[in-house]
Each structure stands twice: as structure tokens, then as C-alpha cells.
Structure 1
Amino acid sequence: MSAFQDAKKQILLELKSAVGKEFTPTVADLTTPPDPSMGEVAFPCFALSKALKRSPFELASEIAAKVEPKGFVAKAVSAGPFVNFTLDPEALGKAVLADIAKEKDGYGRAEAAKSRVMVEFANPNTHKEVHVGHLRNFFVGQAVANLLSAAGFEVIPVSYINDLGTHVAKTLWRMKRSGEMPGKEDRIAFMGRMYAEAVREEEADPRVKEEISAIHRDLEELKGPYVSLWKKSRGWSLKELKAIFKELSLTIDKTYYESELIGETKRIVEELKANGIAKESQGAVIVDLEDAGLGVNLLVKSDGALLYNAKDLALAYRKDEDYRADRSLYVVDGRQSLALKQLFSTLKRAGFQKELGHVSYEFITLKEGAMSSRKGNIIRYETFRDSMLGMAASETNTRHPEWKERKVAASARAVAFAAIRFGVLKQDLDKKITFDMEEALSFDGFTGPYLLYSYARTKSILRKAGRAKKSPDASALSSPVERRILVKIASYPDVVHEAATGIRPSAIAQFLFDLCKAFAEFYETCPVLASEGATREARLALTAAVSQVLSNGLALLGIDTVEEM
């Protein structure tokens, strides 16, 4: 239990003592005052007022009068229907600095193994280019996995690769028809071009659609003249995806492939039909979900082609068989909301018992609108990355003309990837993103580079200071900004828990930004290296604590730190 949680526990005991047997408060009953000057913890008396049939104003005044200063509690005052608690900075400071110094990278993490949660993300298609639009899925999925792990869950991150969809048949059809092979051209870009050309030809000639459908059916059976080309081109894609996943530090325990689920999908569809859950309709196979307001779940088209909704059923059973997770989360953009509701409803009707959830997010847009592989107006991940790296290197060279090329490249890489990742994760999941590269790379404001710079500043101070005292006097941290920082870093474990529970990576981003702003004020108004005695030791300890919390929080977002910028 963290220092802040200990303080809240004491407050709950004080409330219980003041009210008596009629009321047993919980942490959920506590809130945060809107203004730091009002205290660090607030207790609204509305629910208690309703239960006791008394005025919340009178109850707040009565409770505050009964609370005596001791331990973590410095004072309690009533403010209308609220009781506001001010924590003792010395008691809190001593406890939180000791906690962080002891737990280090583990600070903010809960005890392990509450239950097992599977997080499915990073589900790109083979035979297509990875583009900027995929990044939100990658980063959100990894951050959700990291957050849940920090909150004490056993997390199984998995990926599902669509290596056998109609897009594959279109790409292979165009390759055969054109007689072209990549040669010196980038293989993935080549296949992207083939796909876009196939889409245009299909729209112009209905006969092409029939040819592609036949190829798709053959591929599902792994037969016919296109299988060899499928295997070769699939290998190109998987090699590319593996390299990108590694570069972006995506931790995937297991990857599932659509091509491995065809037989199982057909078996499940037949079982659903036999059990009266699915039925044939005009040559297709459907699950009628009209009674649930979800329309019709189309599993098999009239031409016999299996649809994603059917294959997702097989995937759900395969994942459950492999890992027996208590809960399974699907990180998928909001445009697939209906499809997932149909999937979950169909699974439930089939007797699937495990908890399923959709982590929905909005997409990244360009100035011209949403990206589309069909139209060919995408920005490839590599192109975007290289642009960000180039801009970051230019800025680094300007700041440090004396640095050698290797050092510039390493720093630019850290800055660019922090800018990209933070620029995506700082946004609430229900907000669309129009990514601005220059804004994301800024060293000022709500950006990844600003956070890296703040962290590097803490490390610079600590390097110059040398060895610090192990048991600093927290009472020396007496300024308002020092106290705010103590409360801020003390609240970090609660912030992690709430971000994990609410699936809100953006809450971590906002916390880190607020902490960096407070540290900037501290740096300007509270000299560290120039101070002396107990004040110097306490400020060094506070700087070290801020440094550790920044490192831990950035790690949750998948952002690597640097010690010099």
C-alpha cells in the first residue's frame, strides 16, 4: 500500500469514528478538492445526508470538528457540504520518498495476479502497408496491456493477422494479371500498389470480382495456382511486420493467423446451424440478432466465402482454449463496434461464458480525410517515421552542434519515437487525431519531447550532485510547489489504478505532463544544487523521486527515456 493510500485509509477511519456505526465509508466515497489550497482529499456528505436524513452542511461541519490532527492528517475543515482534509507534508513526504526510493521501477505497481486478462491488438493485414492509421491501435493496445499489468493483472497480449482475406486475393490476382514482381521496388509498397490497382479494376469490371472470389475460395482451401505466390508474398509481409513490431517494442505473447482457423471456423458454423443459432438465408449463413437490436450477423456469403465475423468466432474459442483468460479485450477502432457487438452476442448465445470487452478508439485522420488502402492515399509508417527522425535530428543538431553523429542519431530517435507515441496516447480514445508533426516534436507544451527533457533535467541535477543522503528530512520541503509535488507523486499509484480500471492511457499522459510542469516551477523557484544542508538533501531526494515516477509513467506508455538531450 502506498503512502497516499495509507493516508486515505486513515481518513476513512477518522470518518468512521466521527459518524459512528451508521456509516462505513470506502475509498470510492473520497474525491479530490478542485483547488489544492483546499486540501488533498475531500469527503462529500450527500450520500451520508440522505442516509441519516440530515443536512449535508451540518454533517460536514460536525465531522470536521471531530477530526484531530495526527498521522497523515494535518487538519480537516468543512466547506459547504464537503469535509476537506489537508495532509501533513512531513508525514506524507517522509513516507512517499521512502516508498519510491525502495520500490524504484516497481513504484505504482499493484500486487500481482488478480486475474488473467487477454489483450488483442496489433492486427494488421498481410499484403498491405502498415500506415500511420495503424499506430493508434499498436500504441493503445500496448499501453492497455502495460496498465493492466501494473494494476496487478496477469496480461496476455496477442495479435491476430489477417493473412487470407479478400484483399489478399485481389493483390495476388493483380500480380498474376500484370506479370509484375517487385524487383528492386519495395515489396510491401509493390503489393500496396497491386491492391489499389485491383480495386479500381474490380469496380470497373464485374467479371473481375467473380475471378477474385474464386481465388479467395481456393486460398481458403489452400489449393489452386495461387497458393505458391500466396506463401511467398505472405512471407514478405510477415518479415516486415516482425521488424515493425520489434522497432515499436510491441510485446506479443502469441500471434494467431486467419489461415490457421479456416477448418475450425467451418466446424463452428455447422455447430451453430445444428443448434439453431445460425440459419441459412438466401444461400448465406446468418445469425439473426434483430431481437437484440444488432441486425443480422452474416457469417458465410452466398458464394460460400467465410466472413471475418465467422472467423472471429473460431479465434475466440482458440484463444480461450490456449489461455483460459478471465477476460478478453479487443482493441479495435470504433468503426467495428457493431461487428464486435454481433460477435459477443453470437458467442453468448453459443454458450461462451468469458467476459468480453471492446476497447474502442477513434482513428487518425489526414488533412484530406481518413486514410484508405483501397484509394491508395495512405502515409506509410516508414515514411512517417523517417520524416519525424529527420526533423528530430535537425533540431538536435541545432541544439548540440558539438555532438557527434552517433549521439545525435540516438537522441533524435528517442525524441521522435516519444513524440509519435505520446502524441497519440495523450488523446482520449473517443477523440479523433489529426497528427501535427511539428507540434508533436516541440520541446514545449503537452508533448513527448517536453517530458523527455524534464526527465533529462532531473538526471542532470542528480549527476552533478553526486551521492545523496538516504534518509532526507522531508520537513525541509516546505514551499507550496514542493508540497504539491509530494502530493502528486504520492497519488501516482492511484492514478495508475484508475487509468487501468477505466482503460485510459491518456490519464497517465496528463499526469506526467502536470508533474513536469510542477517540476519546472520547482526548478525555477527552489534551487537544488545551490542550497545547503537539509534543504539540499531533501530537494535532491524530491528530484530523484520525480525522476523515478517520470521513468515509470513513461514506461507504461512505452516511451524510452534518455539522460541527456
Structure 2
Amino acid sequence: MEVVSEGTMFSLLDRLKQQAAQAVCERFGIEREVAESALLFTRSKHADLQTVGALSLAKRCKCSPQEIGKAIQGALEKEEVVLRFELTDRGFLNLWIRSEWLATYAHRALSLRLLGAGQCVVVDYSSPNVAKPMHIAHIRSTILGDAIKRVFQAVGYRVIADNHLGDWGTQFGKLIVAYKKWVNLDAFQANPVQELLRLYVLFSEEEKKQQQSQKGGQVFRHSSDEEEDASPSPLLQEARAELVKLQRGDEQNRALWSLFLEASRRELDKMYQRLGVQFDITLGESFYRDQLASTVEALVQKGLAVEDQGAIIVPLERESTVGEKLPPLLIRKADGGFLYSTTDIATLLYRMEQWNPTWILYVTDERQQLHFKQLFATAKQLGISANLEHIWFGLMRLPEGTISTRQGHLISLEALLDEAEERAFQVACECNPELTEAEAREVARVVGIGAVKYNNLSKDRQTLLTFTWDKALALSGNTAPYLQYAYARTRSILRKAEQQGLSPGAISNLAPMEHELLLRLLWFPIIVEEVAKTVKPHLLCEYLFEVALLFSTFYKQMHVLKAEPQLRGSRLALIDLVSRVLKKGLDLLGIAVLERM
């Protein structure tokens, strides 16, 4: 991929900004940096480009926005790329670009700048707990992380995609107890992960019964996987004892743990393959278990961790702000046990040693915001140089409430994908009865999975999602199937042209609708860069939907194959560019396309 200079929307916007800033500095005597930061040219529904910087600079320049706007317009009137200007009463400056410039540089629509050249970014995503089936809530981290990986690769970063599996910890003590007490071996043989889920839910139900019972006036509490319970139920005491045996290398418990892990990995691999998601490395929590004691010791030796009532904590007062006081990070319990926080520190140190990344991105839900603030504050005290960022997303809920594995309130990811493909299959058969069943199934696979992915990616990741089947599997409107269909239509037109011996020519003589469409296509690299900077893939979804809508309007209003030769070649070239932008954009989202639908 080339390093882009002249002949792109990047270079045009930068040139306009520089010229406008220079004019304002010379006329009003303000700092160049201040002028440049204010005078940004952006898209507008009122014009090709717009800058509202005159409004923000008026007070500093001690003049009206109109005066600043006139100074900018005077400087830009020499710019041959600009066809005309419009200065509004509020000092907003609207610009229209010459169609000839757009046409000349249409071939640069897919050219991206290499922002990350020579830099490494680690993306930590998906990371489900093993011995449980993936459910619909897992898809947010998995799909978001995959799109983030693809976008960062596109802008030149070396990306390490790490699936940090939850394959060690308290839940295995619970599962071992449940397996020894209640396993149905036939069910385990047929579907091991589903049987493990049944056992996990059964353990939680039995523990809850003990919670509700009383012995000597003591009410037992229901525990979370990492909760330090001062009065654990008898069942939880058994689980902790089995966990200690596992951690100390008990042969039977290690064999069960390996059995659970192997079965889970097989199921996970099937889901990832179905989703088209690939990782560069899969290192679960168990990989770091032998490093936890030395990690704690190193923090103590550096004076960063101290003992507190038998436990080891990292005080974080120095990293607290006026608005937020960070509680200390617990890294070893009083009984000597380690926590997720300990594993995360060991993982961070390993990643720095192995890859020396510029960035590490953690893609998890919003509930872990405090944990990552504590982790990042600890990393700062350790002198870790990488930029650490928590790419958090809103929770996914069911209409009846929170998704909970413990209570069995979940919809499996497999069931979601099955339903998506089945609904897409019914639509494919109705719309294209000439398709064979195999062809319809392939269309359904691509369309169904695309619909599920896009449903998650098209919303701002920080919003709460309430899952409903109709929303998750929608096939019309701002959806992947709509974009996939737009792409398939472009391919159909280009195939028909080829069959008639016609081919794309030079883009020229643009009608207003064509001008608008080409301008949007040339904006593609800017959108991709914005997604990389904000880590918000929904911006790319919004852009692609706009392109598809513009293409649909263009195709309805303009003759293509029946147009006169020069216009026909130009319009075929424009359609070819639409096709390539849609395909590349959907690929960055991890969504496949079809040549025929």
C-alpha cells in the first residue's frame, strides 16, 4: 500500500487548511497553530466542503466571523481546485470542488496513508471463558476486535491479535466438583461444552440453595468467580479445595482441566471459523500461571506493592485524579491466591518483552472500566511505555434482563448464527427461485452472518444493546444485506457490460448526482483513518450505507449501458469504483460479499 501525498482528499484538505491559516495569521496576527487547529474543512450537506473555523476564531481575532471568512475566501480564490464559494451570514465558508479534479484523482479513492508504519499494536479481544458455550454477548468483543484488527492493518500497523482465553481460575474448581458429582457421561460424550454448561448452572443452583439455608444462624452467600467470601457455602468450600489441588498439580484434576479445555477449544475454533475470525496468537490465562508469584515479588521489590492484612496490593493514590480516586489493586489474596489482575500484569509484561508494541487495545465490556484504569495506573508505575487503551463497549441485554451464564439466561452464538442463516435462506429462495439449494445455502451463509456482524458494528460501540431476533437478523435498511446487495448489483452491471464488449473508461462530464457520488467515494480513506483514530467501526458502517444509497439513486436516475459511449464508459468506471469501495469497506468490517445475490 502506497504512502499518499498529492492527488488525494487528504492533500486537498491539508492544502486548503494551510492557505486559510496563513491568510488569517497575516490579516489578524494570531498564532499559526491556533489558526490551523480551528480551520478544518469537513463534509457538509450544504456544500462539498465547509469550514466553520471563522466562528471560533472571531473572539481571538477581535472581529466578526464574516471578516475572517472573507479573508479565507480571498486566499482560496487562487485555488484552481475550488469551483465556487459561499460565505454565510454566520461566517461559515462553503466550497464546491471542480468535478475535473475529482475525476482526475478517482483512482486514489482506495489509497490509505500508512499511519502505523514501523509500529506494533496488540489487540486483545474475544477472550471467552472456556468450558462454556459462546453466547450472543461474546459476539460484541469478537466482531469489534476483528474489525479493529483489520482497520489497523489497513493503515500500516503490525497487528498482533491475541485471544486471551479465560482457561484458569475459580470456575474450574466449581466445574470439577460438579463433574465429579453430577456428570452425565453420555451427554458429555455427545456435546461436552453443553454438558459443562449444565453442570455450571447446576452448581450455581445448588450453591444458591445452600445460601438460602441456615446453619447456626449463618446465611451462606452466593459467590462470584473471584469473590473472596468470608463465609463460603460447603459447596464453594469443596470447589476451592479442588481448585487448590488443580493448582498444585493433582493428576486427576489436571486431567479433567485438560479435558474441559480441549473440548472447549474445539467448539471455539468451530465458531471462529464460521465467523471468519482469525487470531495471531491464543494464550490463555493458564499460560501465565507460573509467572504470577514472580510478578508479585517484582512489584514488591520495586516498592510498588505492599502487604495489607495479609494480602498484597498496589496503592494507586499517586495515579488518582481530582475527580476520581482509584482504589488499590489487589494482586494476591490473603490466602496466597492470585487474581485476574495478577494475570493481566504478567500478560502485559510478556507482551512488552515479546513485541514491544506501541499500543495495546483491550476490547471488553464497560463493566471492566475500573479494572483497566487500575491496571493502566500500575503499568505507569512500572514504566511501561506502550499506550494502553480500554476499548469498552456497552452491554448486550435480553428484553427480560441481563445475560447470565450462571442462571442459564443466554442465547448461544451457534443458535443465533443458525437462525440468521435459516432466515436468509428463506429470503434467498423467495427472491431467487432459480438458485439451487446449495447456491441458496451459500448466499444464506454469507448474508446471515453478515447481518449478525453488522448489527453489532453499525451502532456506536459504547451504546447499550438490547437483543431481539428481528433487530439482530434484519435484512433491509441500514444492514449488511443491503450493502451486499448493492455490491452484487455493481458486479451484475459490470458483467453485463463485459458480455457486450464494453469496459470502464475515463471518468468525465459528471452530472451533479455523479459528482456527489464520486466525492463520497474519495472520502473513503478519511473515514478509515477516522475509524483507526477513534476505534469506532460504526463510522465506516455509516459511510458505506451513504455510498450504497447514493449508488442506488444514481443507478435509478442515470442510464449506464444505454448511455452514449463516452458517458457509458465514465459511468461504468464510477460503478467499478463503487464496487471496489464497498468490497474493501465490508472486508475491513469482516463481512464477506457475493458476486451474485
Bin of the TM-score, shorter chain as denominator length? over 0.9
Structure-1 separation of matches of 2:183 and 2:135: 26
- Matching residue of 2:177: 173
Deviation at 1:470, TM superposition (A): 5.3
- Matching residue of 1:64: 73
- Matching residue of 1:252: 279
Q: Go from structure 1 to structure 2 and tell me whether the alpha carbon gap of 1:189 and 1:90 turns closer, same or farther (over 3 Å shift).
A: same
Contact 1:415–1:441, Cα closer than 8 Å, also in 2:
no
Q: Do structure 1's residue 190 and structure 2's residue 231 form an aligned pair? A: no
- Matching residue of 2:431: 399
Deviations 1:168-214 (A, max 9, x none): 22112101112532345311111111111112223333111111112
Q: Mean alpha-carbon deviation: is it higher for 265-274 or for 544-553?
A: 265-274
Contact 1:67–1:75, Cα closer than 8 Å, also in 2:
no
Deviations 1:63-109 (A, max 9, x none): 3244336532112332232222211112112212x224xxxxx5446
Q: Do structure 1's residue 508 and structure 2's residue 540 form an aligned pair? A: yes
Structure-to-structure mapping, 1:476-495, within 5 angstroms: 476-479=509-512, 481-495=513-527
Structure-1 separation of matches of 2:258 and 2:75: 75
Structure-2 separation of matches of 1:193 and 1:226: 19
Q: Mean alpha-carbon deviation: is it higher for 107-116 or for 140-149?
A: 107-116
Q: Counterpart of 1:117 in 2: which secondary structure?
A: strand
- Matching residue of 2:114: 110
Q: Do structure 1's residue 562 and structure 2's residue 594 form an aligned pair? A: yes
TM-score with structure 2 length normalisation?
A: 0.88
Deviation at 1:305, TM superposition (A): 2.0
Deviation at 1:430, TM superposition (A): 1.1
Deviation at 1:271, TM superposition (A): 2.1
Q: Counterpart of 1:167 in 2: which secondary structure?
A: helix
Stretches of structure 1 lacking an aligned partner (at least 5 in a row): 101-105
Aligned partner (choices 98, 119, 142) of residue 88 of structure 1: 98
Aligned partner (choices 20, 26, 38) of residue 15 of structure 1: 20
Q: Counterpart of 2:420 in 1: which secondary structure?
A: helix
Structure-1 separation of matches of 2:507 and 2:386: 51
- Matching residue of 1:341: 373
Q: Go from structure 1 to structure 2 and tell me whether the alpha carbon gap of 1:325 and 1:208 turns closer, same or farther (over 3 Å shift).
A: same
Structure-to-structure mapping, 1:134-173, within 5 angstroms: 134-173=138-177
Structure-to-structure mapping, 1:191-230, within 5 angstroms: 191-205=196-210, 206-230=233-257
- Matching residue of 1:519: 551
Structure-2 separation of matches of 1:304 and 1:155: 36
Contact 1:441–1:448, Cα closer than 8 Å, also in 2:
no
Structure-2 separation of matches of 1:422 and 1:221: 45
Deviation at 1:34, TM superposition (A): 3.8
Aligned partner (choices 37, 48, 66) of residue 39 of structure 1: 48
Q: Counterpart of 2:190 in 1: which secondary structure?
A: coil
Contact 1:393–1:412, Cα closer than 8 Å, also in 2:
yes
Structure-to-structure mapping, 1:352-363, within 5 angstroms: 352-363=384-395
Aligned partner (choices 107, 123, 133) of residue 137 of structure 2: 133
Overall identity of the aligned pairs, in %: 30
Structure-1 separation of matches of 2:382 and 2:43: 48
Structure-2 separation of matches of 1:20 and 1:268: 54
Structure-to-structure mapping, 1:209-358, within 5 angstroms: 209-290=236-317, 292=320, 293-358=325-390
Structure-2 separation of matches of 1:20 and 1:107: 32
Q: Go from structure 1 to structure 2 and tell me whether the alpha carbon gap of 1:523 and 1:47 turns closer, same or farther (over 3 Å shift).
A: same
- Matching residue of 2:468: 436
Contact 1:121–1:330, Cα closer than 8 Å, also in 2:
yes
Deviations 1:335-383 (A, max 9, x none): 0111111111122223333221100001221111121111111111111
Q: Do structure 1's residue 77 and structure 2's residue 86 form an aligned pair? A: yes
Q: Which runs of 4+ in 1 moved over 6 A?
A: none
- Matching residue of 1:450: 482
Number of corresponding residues: 556
Contact 2:18–2:36, Cα closer than 8 Å, also in 1:
no
Q: Counterpart of 1:261 in 2: which secondary structure?
A: helix
> Residue 409 of structure 1 aligns to which amino acid in structure 2?
R
Contact 1:361–1:429, Cα closer than 8 Å, also in 2:
yes
Structure-2 separation of matches of 1:343 and 1:427: 28
Structure-2 separation of matches of 1:66 and 1:234: 67
Q: Counterpart of 1:30 in 2: which secondary structure?
A: coil
TM-score with structure 1 length normalisation?
A: 0.93
Contact 2:122–2:159, Cα closer than 8 Å, also in 1:
yes
Deviation at 1:559, TM superposition (A): 0.3
Deviation at 1:320, TM superposition (A): 1.1
Structure-1 separation of matches of 2:9 and 2:305: 53
Contact 2:165–2:283, Cα closer than 8 Å, also in 1:
yes
Deviation at 1:468, TM superposition (A): 4.9
Deviations 1:130-160 (A, max 9, x none): 1110000001111111112222222211111
Give me the CA root mean square deviation.
Answer: 2.1
Aligned partner (choices 1, 18, 39) of residue 29 of structure 1: 39
